[in-house]
Amino acid sequence: MGVNLKDLITPECKLEIDDLRQLSGRIIAFDAYNALYQFLAAIRQTDGTPLMDSKGRITSHLSGLFYRTINFLENGIKPIYVFDGKPPEIKRKELEQRRIRKERAAKMAEKAYSEGNIEEASKYVVQAIFLTDEMVKEAKELLDAMGIPVIQAAEEGEAEAAYIAKKGLAWATASQDYDSLLFGAPRLVRNLTITGKRKLPGKDIYIEIKPEIIELEKLLKTLGITHEQLIDIAILIGTDYNPDGVEGIGPKTAYQLIKAYGSLEKIIKSPHGSHISEDLIKIKNYFLNPVVVDVERIEWKEPDTNRIKDLLVREHDFSIDRVENALKRLEKAYREYIKGRPSSLDQWFKYGKK
């Protein structure tokens, strides 16, 4: 699931956020699939079952998206949700592996349940989660009704989000994965759709999860490398397009090799790289030149409360009281932060300068 740059990111490249208010006024391009998966994983009863309507359809993703997005807006954050399109051909192997892992997890969950091992079962249930076309469609519908921009990527959502941020239409991307940095996003915010405390595996210790900003320029400067070299290191470690990475190479070796040889191409030609496939160059090219759709400007709309109520209350049995309460907050946030305000940085500069 995404590239693992964790070991390369030193504390000085990260800026921790204590309060969402610190992101007030910022336009943030969310990886929608990433957010939806997190809601599906997190929004569950104590026994592990997700929220469901009376017809047995899962609604955890809608609940999470609805309330969390309103919280962002109330804090002055303007979200954009970017949805994945058709996966690129080079991702096929990873997707196949994921499918197998999920099927296996689903079987393990069933087994654990039948043996009465509920805790273990819910662990596997979370691993087996997948987004259906219906879930994606309804998430888009909900966001559109809320007046939140939905961007349909041609291929990778992370690539599209990075493109939007590079262009200045968003201040940062948001995801748990680091891929958007490889696609050139100037800033990545992590831990924005998860909050609170997370249990350390195996122990009874909880650590508080805070949002963090990673700046691409700062990361490159700290490591003393270029953007292309960061991509090279990621490929050596392993990305969604070469999930296993290069045998025998972890973060440290990858960094040292790039520092010593300068590029993936040169490593491949060196004695160190005789076993490294030339195909990896294709991956580098994809990170440098992903397929994206052009976006000219991004607009927020007035929330359509009737449409939201149709979807959440009538269709999916949300409590009318809770939804109406939230809608009041949504409308207030809309008036306060969006209505009558410029919708892109371009316009902000225009109006801002007078």
Partner DNA sequence: CCTCCCTA
Partner DNA sequence: TAGGGAGGG
State the residues that interact with DNA by CB under 7 A.
39, 42-46, 49-53, 59, 62-64, 67-68, 70-71, 193-197, 209, 316-319, 321-323, 325-326
Nearer to DNA, 61 or 91 (CB): 61
- Between 182 and 311, name the residue whose CB sits nearer to DNA: 311
- Minimum distance between the CB of residue 133 and DNA, rounded to whole angstroms? 19
Q: How far is the CB of 59 from DNA (least distance, A)?
A: 3
CA-nearest of 39, 16, 31, 25 to 162 is 31
Annotated binding site: 31, 84, 156, 158, 177, 179, 240
- CB atoms under 10 Å from CB of 75, counted, come to 17
Residue 215 dihedral angles phi and psi, to the nearest 5°: -95, 130
Nearer to DNA, 267 or 311 (CB): 311
Q: Shortest Cβ distance from residue 348 to DNA (Å)?
A: 27
Q: Which residues are annotated as a binding site for Mg(2+)?
A: 31, 84, 156, 158, 177, 179, 240
Cβ 334 to DNA, closest distance in Å? 15
- CB closer to DNA out of 217 and 324: 324
Residue 238 CB, shortest distance to DNA, in Å, is: 27
Residue 347, φ and ψ in degrees, nearest 5: -70, -35
Report, in Å, the least distance between residue 31 CB and DNA: 16
Q: Over the chain, what HEC string results?
A: CCCCCHHHCCHHHEEECCCHHHHCCCEEEEEHHHHHHHHHHHCECCCCCECECCCCCECHHHHHHHHHHHHHHHCCCEEEEEECCCCCHHHHHHHHHHHHHHHHHHHHHHHHHHCCCHHHHHHHHHHCCCCCHHHHHHHHHHHHHHCCCEEECCCCHHHHHHHHHHCCCCCEEECCCCHHHHCCCCEEEECCCCCCEEECCCCCCEEECCCEEEEHHHHHHHHCCCHHHHHHHHHHHCECCECCCCCCCCHHHHHHHHHHHCCHHHHHHCHHHCCCCCCHHHHHHHHHCCCCCCCCCCCCCCCCHHHHHHHHHHHCCCCHHHHHHHHHHHHHHHHHHHCCCCCCHHHHHHHHHC
Shorter beta-carbon distance to DNA: residue 216 or 311: 311
CB of 207 to DNA, least distance (A): 12
CB nearer to DNA: give 138 or 156.
138
Q: Which is nearer to DNA, 10 or 45 (CB)?
A: 45
